[in-house]
């Protein structure tokens, strides 16, 4: 049995869950190096939508790291989630430039409109509100990432209008910049 396959069995998932394949691919690409932890956790979150405990145990075993270390990294970075995410996720940047631009008003307005606290998902599983540290595109502050697009110079009303539109089945179109493009600003 491969090292990865053995780990899956150890992690107690039955060894057959296809979502582990994406994690295994990254583990192999990085040759099981411990400094690849963030990349591996990112792949795990992509595969599962969040980081279940058994997946973190699996990653810890594969990289021969203590579980507490993996857990610490997963909880330090706000882009990792330990809870299932909603179908749509709005991430509000609360880094300094965005905070000065009143990003906290956007968080409060969304929180009130959808009765959801930051870090939580609406009971119907449709929407998650998340906050994060600086996203590296401060020139666009206040910044919101929604539907994998970076929205700059946001306002509480404008962001809520976009969320309403998407939750009603619409899309953001091409008005906003894709995440990678905006990060380069
Ligand atoms: S502070 Fe929000 S992008 Fe930098």
Q: Which atom of ligand 1 is nearest to the CA of 99?
A: 1
Query: Does ligand 1 come within 6 angstroms of the Cβ of 143?
Result: yes
Question: What pLDDT, on the 0 to 100 scale, is given for residue 40?
Answer: 96
Considering 43, 76, 109, which residue would you say is the last residue of a domain?
76
Chain centroid to CA 87: how far? 12
Question: What pLDDT, on the 0 to 100 scale, is given for residue 163?
Answer: 97
Over the stretch 171-184, which tens digit does the pLDDT of each residue have? Answer: 887 555 555 445 44
More confident residue, 144 or 181: 144
Considering 46, 76, 106, which residue would you say is the last residue of a domain?
76
Answer yes or no: is pLDDT of 17 > 60. Answer: yes
Helix (H/G/I), strand (E/B), else coil: 129: strand
Is there a single domain that holds both residue 172 and residue 96?
yes
- Cα 55 to Cα 26: distance, rounded to the nearest angstrom: 14
When divided into structural domains, the chain yields a total of 2
Assess if residue 129 is contained within a domain: yes
Is there a single domain that holds both residue 63 and residue 104?
no
Query: Does ligand 1 come within 6 angstroms of the Cβ of 135?
Result: yes
Q: Which atom of ligand 1 is nearest to the CA of 103?
A: 2
Over the stretch 25-46, which tens digit does the pLDDT of each residue have? Answer: 999 999 999 999 999 999 998 8
Query: Does ligand 1 come within 6 angstroms of the Cβ of 134?
Result: yes
- Cα 52 to Cα 137: distance, rounded to the nearest angstrom: 30
Q: Atom 1, ligand 1: which residue's CA is nearest?
A: 95
CA of residue 139 to ligand 1 center, whole Å: 8
Question: What pLDDT, on the 0 to 100 scale, is given for residue 4?
Answer: 44
Is there a single domain that holds both residue 102 and residue 40?
no
Mean pLDDT taken over the chain:
86
Query: Does ligand 1 come within 6 angstroms of the Cβ of 179?
Result: no
Torsions phi, psi for 45 (to 5 deg): -70, -35
Structural domain span for residue 8:
3-76
Answer yes or no: is pLDDT of 50 > 60. Answer: yes
Assess if residue 104 is contained within a domain: yes
Question: What pLDDT, on the 0 to 100 scale, is given for residue 136?
Answer: 85
Assess if residue 81 is contained within a domain: no
CA of residue 149 to ligand 1 center, whole Å: 15
Question: What pLDDT, on the 0 to 100 scale, is given for residue 77?
Answer: 87
The whole-model pTM stands at 0.64
CA of residue 73 to ligand 1 center, whole Å: 21
Instruction: Assign residue 102 the CATH number of its domain.
Output: 3.40.30.10
Q: HSE-up of 33 (CA within 13 Å, CB side)?
A: 6
Is there a single domain that holds both residue 96 and residue 178?
yes
**Tokens matching residue 184:** 């380069």
């Amino acid at each position: 049995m491969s090292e990865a396959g053995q780990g899956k069995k150890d992690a107690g998932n039955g060894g057959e869950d296809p979502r582990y394949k994406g994690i295994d691919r990254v583990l192999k690409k990085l040759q099981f190096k411990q400094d690849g932890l963030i990349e591996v956790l990112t792949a795990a979150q992509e595969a599962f939508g969040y980081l279940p405990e058994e997946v973190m145990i699996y990653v810890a075993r594969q990289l021969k790291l203590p579980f507490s270390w993996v857990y610490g990294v997963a909880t330090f970075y706000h882009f990792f989630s330990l809870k299932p995410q909603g179908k749509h996720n709005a991430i509000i940047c609360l880094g300094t430039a965005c905070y000065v631009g009143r990003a906290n008003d956007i968080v409060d307005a969304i929180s009130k409109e959808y009765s959801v606290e930051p870090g939580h998902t609406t009971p119907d599983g449709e929407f998650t509100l998340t906050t994060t540290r600086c996203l590296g595109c401060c020139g666009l502050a206040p910044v919101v990432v929604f539907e994998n697009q970076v929205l700059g110079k946001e306002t509480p009303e404008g962001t809520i209008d976009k969320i309403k539109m998407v939750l009603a089945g619409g899309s953001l179109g091409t008005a906003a910049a894709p995440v990678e493009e905006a990060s380069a600003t």
